Amino acid sequence: MFESAELGHRVAKEAYAEEEPKLREALLDAQFDLHESRRFSTVILIGGVEGAGKGETVNTLNAWMDPRQIETTGFVAQTDEERQRPPMWRFWRALPPKGRIAIFFGSWYTDPIVARVLGGAKEAQLDRAIAEIRRFERMLADEGVLLLKFWFHLSKEAQRQRLKELAKDPRTAWRVTKDDRARLKDYDTWREVSERVLRRTSEGHAPWIVVEGADERYRNLTVGRTVLTALRRRLDAPPDDTPPVAPPASPPGVDARNVLTELDLTKAVPKAKYEKELEEWQGRLNLLTRHRHFAEHAWVVVFEGNDAAGKGGAIKRVVGAVDARFLRTVPVAAPTDEEKARPYLWRFWRQIPRHGHGVIFDRSWYGRVLVERVEGFCAEYDWQRAYGEINDFEEELARHGVIVTKFWLAIGREEQARRFKEREETSFKRFKITAEDWRNREKWDQYVEAVCDMIERTSTTVAPWTVVEANDKYHARLKVLKTLVRRMERALEG
């Protein structure tokens, strides 16, 4: 993949002087059009060998365009805050909104390559990282992100000469470190691993652009032209309102049985038993959050369910059992303008807690495959792909020690109607019922189908669904607490 980047490309000073002002003007125009249209965001990845001009090129892009509309982030060693979360957390936080450009100096490619060359990571570990990166970038592309990936390359001899020149100049000698010299000795290994990663992650929606880094004028024009061409092609093309047609989410039903119809909604717990067991299970949950190993984990609890199924009451019993300093509740409503300007998982990634802490999501990322699916707020292709994206998200959380527990609180149609009427007739509960709640009942069967598909496709070993029979609130609350306790016990003591 690197042959064309070892040919000794050069650009004459006169030719550069003639083209540079035109290219800068065109880039500024494209950047302005992007900001005005707010149709998509742009992420530029900068990677490659040491001494190949990565930093200089980033500075050039910021000089040629309006730096107020560009967010440049250098991803070096993880901070303490970042180490407390899954590795992708810091990249998700830096994703730009629509209409803006982000430059990532270092990226999600850095750690897998370094781990394989220096950290003793096995070939299988690199393969897994590559597969995860491909799915992540596919998701970004499906969410409309324009992803431009530049790899700056030097031949072994060119890199040796470049480092020698930098070390000679007092103004740049500080840039040549012991690590740079060590990497030069292992050049062939770095090249082999990097080529493998680039080859397997260069795809139509996110191809790699390999840039020879020896000549400053050549690399500036190459990167500048590539960015301009990509922006203009996307800006000048008509919006594509016809996403691919997805296959059916589930096989056609042969009988009427599903995970919801088979629930025994008559399950109930007497009040006296409930009050006794509530204190017991809340106490056990409290002790688990003080467990010596809890500091090595984080805790994410998802509550979904029918309207009026008692999510709020169940959440109160969980919150009331633990130290409020270490547990937050995040109510999820319709996305804000800030959230709609980024991939849909962004607003959830930013809420992921650090080790020793927990977050309860009252509604969650499953809105993509429930409300957005049923109400037609997103295309079928988008909610169909969301199943796999959600599974990847939850698997990454679990791999980093996050204990993910998910509840669907189910009630019958008649019980829901009774609770709706009760809310209307009770002064301090009227705020809980709206005309929208009644309207949603008309789509009961569509929601049942969506819920069954959701459970079927996203109940995994690392993040299983627990379906809670919630016609009786006492039974539902105790089942939630018992499930949380047992799942945490397995994670902390298993």
Give tens-digit pLDDT for 437-493: 778 889 999 999 999 999 999 999 999 999 999 999 999 999 999 999 999 999 998
pLDDT of residue 254: 66
**Percentage of the chain with pLDDT > 70?**
96
DSSP codes joined into one string, 409-462: EE--HHHHHHHHHHHHHSGGGGGG--HHHHHHHTTHHHHHHHHHHHHHHH--SS
Q: Which residue carries 């080790």 as its tokens?
A: 355
Dihedrals phi, psi of 95, to nearest 5 degrees? -65, 135
Distance (Å, rounded) from C-alpha 288 to C-alpha 299?
11
DSSP strand pairing (402-410 vs 146-153): unpaired
pLDDT value at 242 more than 70: no
pLDDT value at 247 more than 80: no
Average pLDDT over residues 129-136: 97
> Order of strands across the sheet with 465-469?
327-331, 358-362, 298-305, 402-410, 465-469
Helices (H) and strands (E) in the chain, counts: 20, 10
Is 302 exposed, middle or buried (CB count within 10 Å of its CB: 0-12, 13-18, 19+)? buried
300: amino acid identity, one letter: V
pLDDT value at 408 more than 90: yes
pLDDT value at 298 more than 80: yes
| Residue 226 or 165, more confident | 226
Asked if 265 and 467 touch (Cβ cutoff 8 Å), the reply is no
Q: For residue 406, which of 450, 461, 444 has the smallest C-alpha distance? A: 461
Retrieve residue 349's tokens: 């990634």
Distance (Å, rounded) from C-alpha 393 to C-alpha 75?
21
Retrieve residue 77's tokens: 């060693």
Average pLDDT over residues 62-90: 95
For residue range 355-367, list pLDDT tens digits in order.
999 999 999 999 9
Q: For residue 363, which of 409, 430, 323, 321 has the smallest C-alpha distance? A: 409
What is the helix (H) or strand (E) element at residue 465, kind and residue range?
strand 465-469
The confidence band for 251, taking pLDDT boundaries of 50, 70 and 90, is low
Largest Cα–Cα distance in the chain?
89
Average pLDDT over residues 183-206: 92
pLDDT of residue 69: 92
pLDDT of residue 438: 77
pLDDT of residue 360: 98
pLDDT of residue 430: 66
| Residue 193 or 162, more confident | 193
Residues in the chain: 494
Retrieve residue 124's tokens: 């299988």
pLDDT value at 200 more than 70: yes
104 forms bridges with which residues in the sheet? 45, 73
Distance (Å, rounded) from C-alpha 50 to C-alpha 160?
10
Asked if 103 and 44 touch (Cβ cutoff 8 Å), the reply is yes
Tally Cβ neighbours within 10 Å of residue 6: 16
Distance (Å, rounded) from C-alpha 82 to C-alpha 78?
6
Distance (Å, rounded) from C-alpha 317 to C-alpha 184?
59
What is the helix (H) or strand (E) element at residue 229, kind and residue range?
helix 216-236
Distance (Å, rounded) from C-alpha 16 to C-alpha 43?
26
For residue range 369-395, list pLDDT tens digits in order.
999 999 999 999 999 999 999 999 999
Distance (Å, rounded) from C-alpha 390 to C-alpha 135?
11
pLDDT value at 169 more than 70: yes
Tally Cβ neighbours within 10 Å of residue 399: 11
Asked if 212 and 153 touch (Cβ cutoff 8 Å), the reply is yes
Q: Go through 217-250 and write b for each residue having 16 or more CB atoms within 10 A of its CB, e for each that does not.
A: bbbbbbbbeebbebbbebbeeeeeeeeeeeeebe
Average pLDDT over residues 279-290: 97
**Percentage of the chain with pLDDT > 90?**
81
What is the helix (H) or strand (E) element at residue 46, kind and residue range?
strand 42-48
Dihedrals phi, psi of 379, to nearest 5 degrees? -70, 155
Average pLDDT over residues 165-175: 81
Q: Is 160 in a helix, a strand, or coil?
A: helix
Average pLDDT over residues 274-294: 96
DSSP codes joined into one string, 362-399: ES-GGGGGTHHHHHTSS-HHHHHHHHHHHHHHHHHHHH
pLDDT of residue 266: 97
pLDDT of residue 229: 97
pLDDT value at 249 more than 70: no
pLDDT value at 175 more than 90: no
For residue range 8-47, list pLDDT tens digits in order.
999 999 999 999 999 999 999 999 999 999 999 999 999 9
Q: What is the mean pLDDT of the chain?
A: 93
Q: Go through 71-86 and write b for each residue having 16 or more CB atoms within 10 A of its CB, e for each that does not.
A: bbeebeeeeeebebbb
User: What sign does the CA torsion over 18, 21, 27, 29 have?
Assistant: negative
Q: Go through 115-129 and write b for each residue having 16 or more CB atoms within 10 A of its CB, e for each that does not.
A: bbbeeebeeeebeeb
Distance (Å, rounded) from C-alpha 254 to C-alpha 378?
28
Retrieve residue 76's tokens: 């070096």
